[in-house]
Structure 1
Amino acid sequence: MPAQQPCRSFRDEGLEGQLTGSSILITGTSSGIGVETAKALFTTSATLYLTARNLDKVMHALGDMVSSPRVHLLKLDLESLSSVRACAAALLSKTKTLSIYIANAGVMATPEGRTKDGFETQFGTNYLGHFLLFLLLRPMLLAAVTPESNSRVVFLSSIAHRYSEVVFDNLNFDGAYDKWKAYG
């Protein structure tokens, strides 16, 4: 399956080929925004490290693009902190620097459940998993800083944080579970 044409706005901004030598990690590249972000950033000539729980879905979504020597697939399940650690170790085995980390992966309005580590699914996946990954990648992000360019961290989010306040004494929403309040 051939990859679709890149995002028009990257061409308009003159970014094609402008990130040669940069390395970018994008989480959640099996569908949606992650797929489109990967397609657009591929045009910049950066080396891409793409993560997902199901790498077959990434290969299907991105087609021929994944056969490029600039594209590397890494398994990552943010519901499992051991998977987060394994992904960070795998990335470190491939590169010592990381120019950009795009925290895109997440789950939304899931039924009540727990991560492999016992946290409420949405809190564990959308926050704790990415936070641990950032902490593990921080040395790589700092190593990528040059006098000409800083590293970047981009956390995708939504306005849904307004759905509820943080309930610090019940982060797992034990008792009455509301999937939208837990998401927010």
Structure 2
Amino acid sequence: MPLFSGRCYSLARLDGITAVITGCNTGIGKETALDFYKRGARVLMACRDLTKANSAKEDIVKSSGNIDGCGDLVVVKLDLLSLSSVRECAKYILNTEPKINLLINNAGVMMCPKGKTEDGFEIQLGTNHLAHFLLTLLLFPRIANSKPARIVNVSSTAHERGYIDFNDIHFEQRNYSPFQAYAQSKLANVLFTKELAKKIQENNIDGVNVYSLHPGVISTELGRHFATSHPIIQLILKPFRWFMKTPEMGAQTTIYCAVDEKCAEENGLYYKDCVAVEAAKEALNLETAEKFWNLSEKLVGFVNWNPSTADNKM
């Protein structure tokens, strides 16, 4: 049990609220979906494996204990390794959901072997950032029309070790490092949050807030590649698993950013244990954030996006 773990104590209900959560068939995403469901939200579970997602849906219903006031759970297909799948998912959501109040960009991969997405992106950057970047831009007009609304990007303290190599963002020239690729993708999450908040403010859009966060060191399936590629380190760290957070504890900061009243007017900040803290210096570099945003637009084929005039380009 960690010596300190923040907890969201808000009792806010989410009746009438629609939430989209990526990668919520396991881990902190599943715990987030459970929490929202118990608060009365309509939860869209956007997952790659529909069999696992439907099993998770059944588990969530059972875990709720059939308490009064639960919401709805809807499983939606989303493969973050494919921008085509991201566009299809966004199209489906926009055709079926009149509002989107919460977007939780939760899904991710961690320190996996070198690989590429369907679109040729380094797999961790493509999954953890670029796919969520495109999904957010596509859904943003509906989000902006569903105010108050919040967008929550799950990052990691690993962003502190990251840097954006604009000359070799997909590790095509430099030696591939699973950790450095992961750190770059998590830095991307924070930079994305900063720049999106800036664009929202510059376009005088009220009622839409965006957050990034570190959920903590959690014992989940996310570290399965790390266990395979670093068995010796895993053996050394095994005694410390007792100090890792459970998925339920790890979901608390995500839930806090999504529902808590105290951060309702905060925008573009980075959180840890349900408290806003200062992100790494590189994550606060506004020039880097803007440059990386422009590159991300180019990579996903959504150039010159403007939040005040954005349409749903597919």
Normalising by structure 1, we get a TM-score of 0.86
Worse-superposed segment, 157-166 or 25-34: 157-166
- Where structure 1 has 5 or more consecutive residues not aligned to the other structure, the ranges are 1-8
Give the AA of the match of 2:168.
N
2:119 and 2:59 mapped to 1: Cα distance?
36
| Number of aligned residue pairs | 169
Identify if the C-alpha distance between structure 1 residues 165 and 64 changes in structure 2 by more than 3 Å, giving closer, same or farther.
closer
8 Å CA contact retained: 1:96, 1:143: no
Give the AA of the match of 1:120.
E
- Compute the displacement of 1:93 (Å): 1.7
1:165 and 1:22 mapped to 2: Cα distance?
36
8 Å CA contact retained: 1:59, 1:66: no
Give the AA of the match of 1:161.
H
Give the AA of the match of 1:173.
F
CA RMSD, 1 decimal: 1.8
Matching residue of 1:179: 178
Give the AA of the match of 2:171.
F
Percent of pairs identical after alignment? 40
- Compute the displacement of 1:153 (Å): 0.2
Q: State the structure with bigger RCO (CA 8 A, min sep 6), 1 or 2.
A: 2
What SS does the corresponding residue of 1:155 show, helix, strand or coil? strand
Normalising by structure 2, we get a TM-score of 0.51
Which of 165, 168, 188 does residue 167 from structure 1 map onto?
Answer: 165
- Compute the displacement of 1:59 (Å): 2.1
- Compute the displacement of 1:65 (Å): 4.4
Give the AA of the match of 1:182.
A
Residues 113-128 of structure 1: pairs in structure 2 closer than 5 A: 113-128=115-130
Matching residue of 1:3: none
8 Å CA contact retained: 2:40, 2:71: no
What SS does the corresponding residue of 1:48 show, helix, strand or coil? strand
What SS does the corresponding residue of 1:106 show, helix, strand or coil? coil
- Where structure 2 has 5 or more consecutive residues not aligned to the other structure, the ranges are 1-6, 63-69, 184-314
2:162 and 2:146 mapped to 1: Cα distance?
37
Residues 25-174 of structure 1: pairs in structure 2 closer than 5 A: 25-63=20-58, 65=60, 70-145=72-147, 150-174=148-172
1:54 and 1:179 mapped to 2: Cα distance?
24
1:65 and 1:163 mapped to 2: Cα distance?
35
- Compute the displacement of 1:21 (Å): 1.0
1:63 and 1:26 mapped to 2: Cα distance?
16
Residues 15-34 of structure 1: pairs in structure 2 closer than 5 A: 15=12, 18-34=13-29
- Compute the displacement of 1:64 (Å): 5.5
8 Å CA contact retained: 1:66, 1:72: no
1:54 and 1:66 mapped to 2: Cα distance?
19
What SS does the corresponding residue of 1:170 show, helix, strand or coil? coil
What SS does the corresponding residue of 1:169 show, helix, strand or coil? coil
Identify if the C-alpha distance between structure 1 residues 142 and 118 changes in structure 2 by more than 3 Å, giving closer, same or farther.
same
Matching residue of 1:14: 11
- Compute the displacement of 1:110 (Å): 1.0
What SS does the corresponding residue of 1:160 show, helix, strand or coil? helix
What SS does the corresponding residue of 1:29 show, helix, strand or coil? coil
What SS does the corresponding residue of 2:167 show, helix, strand or coil? helix
Hey, which bits of structure 1, 4+ residues long, moved more than 3 A? 64-69
What SS does the corresponding residue of 2:74 show, helix, strand or coil? strand
Give the AA of the match of 1:143.
N
Rg larger for: 2
- Compute the displacement of 1:115 (Å): 0.5
Give the AA of the match of 2:73.
V
2:61 and 2:168 mapped to 1: Cα distance?
42
1:96 and 1:119 mapped to 2: Cα distance?
32
